[in-house]
Amino acid sequence: MKKAIFWSARSNHVFSVFSPELIARIRQSVELPDAVYSPADLDKVDFSDVDFIFSTWGVRSLTSEEWRRYFPKLTHFFYGAGATDDFALPLLENKIHISSAWRANAIPVAEYVVSAILLGLKNFFQLTRSIHSPETWATTPRGRGAYGTTVTLLGSTGAIATLVARELEKHDLKVIGIPSPVAERTTTLEEAFAVSQVVSNHLPNRNDNVGCIDGKLLASMPANALFINTGRGRQVNEKEMIEVLKQRPDLTVLLDVQCPEPPEEGSELYSLPNVFLTPHIAGSLGDEVQRMGKYAVEEMERVLRGESLLHEIQESYLLTYQDKK
C-alpha cells in the first residue's frame, strides 16, 4: 500500500480542509499517519517511503535537492488550496506531479461576484448608504437592473471569470471579456470601463498588472457604476481611486482585496461612503474549504485508478514563469 502524509506548518488549516470524512476516505486507499509534518521534521522523521503528500495553506518550500534527498519516492503533491507559486517549482524540477484545488476555490469567489453584480445593477449599494429619510427613499436612483446592461470581466479566461460569465448568461446581460494578455484583447480597458455599469477584476497577480486599474479608467465609468475587486489590491492605483471616489459619489467600489491588506490606519478607504470593504472573504470560508480537500482526495483516487490528474499544475501556470515571458 502506498503511503501519504500531511505537510504544512499550520496543522489547524489541514484539519479544516481535510474533514474526518475525507481523512477516512484517504485511508481507504493509502497509509496515512495522524501527524502533520513540516520542514522542522526533516531530520527527525524518515520520509523515504512517502509516495503522496496532502497539503493546504502553510506550505514551507524546500529546495530541489531537499525534495530529492528527503522524499526519494514522492510522486504526487495534492494541494487542497489555490495558488502554488511559492513552492511548486522545486517539486516540478523533480518531476513530482502537483494537483491544486484552485478550481474549487474559484466557485465561492464566482458566487460572491455574481451576487454583487446583480445587487449592484439594482443600485443596492448606493441605496443602502443613501436612504435615511422619506426624501432620500424617493430620490436615490434605483439602478438599471440586469436586462441588457453591460458588465466587463477583467481576466476573462481565468477560472473565476469563466464561472462568472457562465452564470451571467442567465441574466440577459452584455458581457465584455478582457483577457489578461494585451495581445489577445479585442476591446481596450478604456473602451470597456467607459461603457460598463459593472467592472469586476479577475486579472492574475502578475507584475505587469500592478496599478493597471487607475483613476482615469474609474472616472470614465457611467453614472452609478460599480467596480468590484476580488483579484489583488496591487492591481488598483488606490490613491487615484480614492480621489475619483471623492469627486464621483455616484460611483461604488466593492473591495474584497486591498493593498496593503488590511488598509493602513487612517486610510480613507475606511471612511468614504462609496467604498465597501470586505476582509478577503470571497474565497473559500467555513465548510467551503472542504470542497478543496475533496478535490485533492478525488485527484489521489484518479491516480490510483491509473487516470490523469484533472487539476495538474504546469510550470507555465506559475507567476514566476509568466513574469519571465
Q: Quick: pLDDT tens for 27-60.
A: 999 999 999 999 999 999 999 999 999 999 989 8
Judgement on whether residues 296 and 319 belong to the same structural domain of the protein: yes
Confidence band for 318, pLDDT divided at 50, 70 and 90: confident
pLDDT higher than 90, residue 251: yes
Longest dimension (CA), the chain: 73
Provide the CATH number for the domain around residue 228. 3.40.50.720
What pLDDT sits at residue 321?
53
Contacts of 45 (CB under 8 A, 6+ apart): 37
pLDDT higher than 80, residue 319: no
pTM beyond 0.75: the answer is yes
For the chain, the domain total comes to: 2
pLDDT higher than 60, residue 71: yes
What pLDDT sits at residue 61?
82
Judgement on whether residues 156 and 266 belong to the same structural domain of the protein: yes
Average pLDDT over residues 210-220: 97
Judgement on whether residues 305 and 251 belong to the same structural domain of the protein: no
Judgement on whether residues 118 and 246 belong to the same structural domain of the protein: yes
In order of 7, 181, 233, 248, 316, the CA distances from 215 in angstroms are 43, 21, 14, 11, 32
Residues spanned by the domain of 126 = 105-277
Judgement on whether residues 188 and 248 belong to the same structural domain of the protein: yes
Query: Over pLDDT 70: what percentage of the chain?
Result: 98
| Residue with cell string 465609468 | 221
